[in-house]
Every structure is written in structure tokens, then in C-alpha cells.
Amino acid sequence: MIPVQKVPITDQVVDKIKTSIIEGAFEESKKLPSEQSLCESLNVSRSTLREAFRVLQTKGFVELKPGRGAFVCESIPKDTVDVRDWFRVNAPRLNDFIEVRQAIETLAIKIAAKLHTEAEYAHLEAINHEFIAAVEAEDVPAMAHLDEAFHEAIVNMSHNSLLININNLVSKEFKKYRSISFGVRKNAQNALEPHRQILASLHSRDPKQAMQSIENHLTMARDDMESVISN
């Protein structure tokens, strides 16, 4: 019989912080809580926490900035994230946010179809061109950033300050989702045609068609999530 092995306390701390980063509890490029706060919540000494930070820095999860503290790296290693498990854990919360996004973006694009300027449309089209290039290059961070910019631009085209403010709050919750979702090549490719349909509906200034195009796009996003979970 193989004896039970004790896991070193530093390794336990590394795993807890790494899991929190992967699940989005600590945002990319943001500063981690203070050493005192983490020591208290994890019930460990500062020396143990600092050793864990050094390990996490080596693994590419944390950046230690002298005099400023520990920060989550801007882009965590993709091969450490089990996409299926991440979606299974976060699916209920993501479903809620997709519903909210549908409400916000459907109303926003209905207004935008009538009010957007030629310059705003050209800006949206330029973002989409860059998104297509990022998909072809399989540049996941760029895809995530550009997809966020694409949807943000649509809401901004409504010129409704309340919708814009609400959307800014909701979009923060989707940053991790986009990065992990676009790591699945099929999901990235599935966004291309909906983006084209959205642009076409805005170009024709057809509110009904625009609303349908955004609903189809967000429904596909939910289907992609469920497909990852079930495979």
C-alpha cells in the first residue's frame, strides 16, 4: 500500500491562490489583497505566503513588483486551465449574465440602429476587421479584448448613458469568460458570422433585424458554453 503523503503548506497556498486566479476571483493585471489579509484568510505565516508568491511567479500567475506588492499576471498560462471544468463551475453565473447582456444589448442595438453615425459604424467595422485577424492568428488575448470592444462600441452607439454605465459593470464579469471561451477555436470562429450579421443590420438601420442579430449571437454564446460542458 502506498503511504499517504502530506502536502507541504506552501503547495496548498499555491493551489488555493492559483485556483482563485483561474476562477476569476482575482482579476488579471490587478493587485492581489495585502499580505496581511491573505495570511489571515489562509491562516499562514508571511514567510509561507511569500514563498508561495515566488512559486506562482515562476509558474506565470503572479508578478511581484518591488514596493507595490503582488499582481495577477495579465495573461495566465492557457494550459493550466481546464476549460470544461471552468465552465461547469461558472455556468450558472454566466447564464445569469448572458440574460442581462441580452436585455442590455438588445435595447442598445435597437436604439443604435437609428442613432449611430457613419463614424461610429466605421469604428465598429474596424474593430471587427481586427477581430477577424486575431481569430486567424489564434491570438486569444487579442480576440477577448476586441470582442469586448465590439460589444462596448454597440452599446456606446445608443448614446444612452444609463445603458452604457450598466454595460460597463456587466462586461467586467465577462473578461475571464471571453479569454477562456476563445481558447476553444470553434467558439472563436462561431463569433465571425454573428458579427457580420450585426454589422449588416446596423448598416441597413433595421432595428428589428439588429435586435434579432444580437439575440442570435448571445444565444450562440450560451450554446458554445453548454457544448464545452457536455463534451
127: CATH: 1.20.120.530
Domain-located, residue 176: yes
Residues 47 and 105 in one domain: no
Contacts of 134 (CB under 8 A, 6+ apart): 142, 143, 146
- The pLDDT assigned to 82 comes to 60
Of the residues 40, 72, 104, the one at which a domain ends: 72
pLDDT band at 5 (very low <50, low <70, confident <90, very high): very low
Domain-located, residue 89: yes
Residues 167 and 117 in one domain: yes
pLDDT tens-digit readout, 88-109: 666 677 778 888 889 999 999 9
Of 115, 129, 96, 102, the closest CA to residue 195 belongs to: 129
Range of the domain at 115: 83-230
Of the residues 39, 72, 105, the one at which a domain ends: 72
Running DSSP on this structure, what letter comes out for residue 13? Answer: H
Residues 106 and 65 in one domain: no
Where is pLDDT greater, at 151 or 28? 151
- The pLDDT assigned to 158 comes to 96
Domain-located, residue 77: no
Rounded distance between C-alpha atoms, residue 13 and residue 99, angstroms: 35
Q: What is the CATH number of the domain that holds 24?
A: 1.10.10.10
Per-residue cell: 78: 492557457
Where is pLDDT greater, at 71 or 59? 71
Domain-located, residue 4: no
- The pLDDT assigned to 127 comes to 96
Of 98, 91, 95, the closest CA to residue 215 belongs to: 98
Share of the chain above pLDDT 70, in %: 86
- The pLDDT assigned to 212 comes to 95
Of 95, 135, 110, the closest CA to residue 221 belongs to: 95
Domain-located, residue 189: yes
What is the tally of structural domains in the chain? 2
pTM of the entire predicted model: 0.65
The mean of the pLDDT values for the chain is 85
- Please say whether the beta carbons of 192 and 45 come within 8 A: no
